Amino acid sequence: MANYQYKGLDARSKKVVGVIDADNPKAAAQKLKKLFIYPIEVVESEERKKARRFQIPGFQERISTMELTVMTRQLSTLVGAGLPLVQCLTALTEQVENSKLKNVIAEVKGSVNEGSSFADALSHYPKVFSDFYVNMIRAGEQSGALEVVLARLADFTENQSRLRDQILFALMYPAVILLLSLLVMMVMFTYVIPKISLLFEQTHQTLPVITKFMILISTILRKFFWAIGILAGAAFYGFQRWKKSPEGKERYDQWTLKIPLFGDLIRKLAVSRFARTLATLLQSGIPLLKSLNIVEKVVGNIVIAKAVRQARENIAEGASIAGPLKASGAFPPFVIQMIASGEQSGELEFLLEKAAEAFEREVETAVNGLVRLIEPIMILVMAGIVAFIIVSFLLPILELTQGIK
């Protein structure tokens, strides 16, 4: 569907202008007639034309988490002001800058205007609005607390975006160091070493084993760089395909949880997402079993997801929440204790939220600690590799100078 700008006359012959979504201009005109508007002019919106004109084949404008958060926050404010939902969505289309999100909102508005519920209209765009988002909106519509649910959704997405950005920012410096080190090594192997090895060939000097090894690596990189690139690309593509398969995904997630240092961090991140999501869903009035079904899809780790699924099945048969989760062995004792206390006290949502906050703080602290540990290790490793290369060529140079003396 696309957005079309129209000019027309309403039932009182008054001029009206606006935007409507449809598959083509003819469908847009038919929609307007159903709304008792006689179309005079229907043209594709300028934003849609620009997006189509400058779009690179295979690439589309992305909707970031922060843009979705801001949109949700604005909608919460508009709904809280007592405006009708269609009018709120109309105002959003004027405030949102991302053209793709603007088109989606306009199409959602069209569906709502035709009688669809807000949640059902959002469910047609699963790449933009997750099951979690749609079910939260549905709960808000059914309970009459859409404003509150939208505010919780904005808080949730903003919190998840902040945590992810903190982790990425912390890992940026080690990534830059690694990239620069690899670049230096590539220059040495493809430019510096060939120059030095040419000097040794002219002197017909017997070279140490480590020097011959360095020259061999340099020769392979220079002559077969294209084959190495193809093999690396094929290996990466094959790995990604394997990781997306059900068996590969499960094995990969099991392996990530066992990585020294990083495994515990990945587990804490998945558990914090579990606790935060479940708390938000329960606070919005979504039943426990349905909440666990949604949480299973968003935790981001198959091992944790299977534990949630098994717990949901046991709970459906009358078990408590804490017992099945404890039996899975996938959740830390602290979370189990908080859930058990929440069940007994009736404050499960509150204690889940506190558990999520605790684990998010632990993740931030652990990431910062790992970065401080990785930085010197990377520097020492790269310095050791460069020193090894230098020594491997310094030895024959010293032998050559001693022979001249």
Does the pLDDT at position 235 exceed 90? Answer: yes
d(CA 392, CA 388): 6
Does the pLDDT at position 309 exceed 50? Answer: yes
Does the pLDDT at position 335 exceed 70? Answer: yes
As assigned by CATH, the class of the 171-405 domain is mainly alpha
Q: Which of the following CATH numbers is that of domain 65-158: 3.40.50.720, 3.30.420.40, 2.60.40.10, 1.20.81.30?
A: 1.20.81.30
HSE (side-chain half, CA atoms, 13 Å) at 216: 7
Asked whether 153 and 140 are in contact (CB, 8 A), the reply is no
**Domains of the chain, residue spans:** 2-54, 65-158, 171-405
Distant-in-sequence, close-in-space partners of 225: CB < 8 Å, separation ≥ 6: 190
d(CA 68, CA 72): 6
pLDDT of residue 58: 41
d(CA 6, CA 25): 10
Do 65-158 and 171-405 show the same overall fold? yes
pLDDT confidence band for 23 (50 / 70 / 90)? low
pLDDT of residue 261: 73
Q: Which of 135, 134, 143, 90 lies closest to 113, judged by CA?
A: 90
The DSSP element (H or E) to which 72 belongs, if any, is helix 65-80
pLDDT confidence band for 400 (50 / 70 / 90)? low
Bridge pairing between strands 2-9 and 38-44: antiparallel
pLDDT of residue 1: 55
Mean residue pLDDT across the chain? 81
pTM of the model: 0.65
Residue 140, token pair as written in the block: 């808000």
Q: Which DSSP symbol is given to 321?
A: S
Q: How far is CA 129 from the centre of its chain?
A: 13
d(CA 104, CA 31): 17
pLDDT of residue 68: 86
Does the pLDDT at position 384 exceed 80? Answer: yes
pLDDT of residue 52: 46
Kindly report the CA angle at 125 between 123 and 129, in degrees rounded to 5? 75
The DSSP element (H or E) to which 197 belongs, if any, is helix 193-203
**DSSP β-bridge partners for residue 21:** 3
d(CA 370, CA 264): 12
Distant-in-sequence, close-in-space partners of 388: CB < 8 Å, separation ≥ 6: 210
Measured in Å, how far apart are the chain's first and last C-alpha atoms? 83
CA distances in angstroms from 190 to 27, 187, 379, 397, listed in the order given: 61, 5, 22, 20
3-state DSSP assignment of residue 190: helix
As assigned by CATH, the class of the 2-54 domain is alpha beta
CA distances in angstroms from 43 to 49, 93, 338, 384, listed in the order given: 10, 17, 58, 65
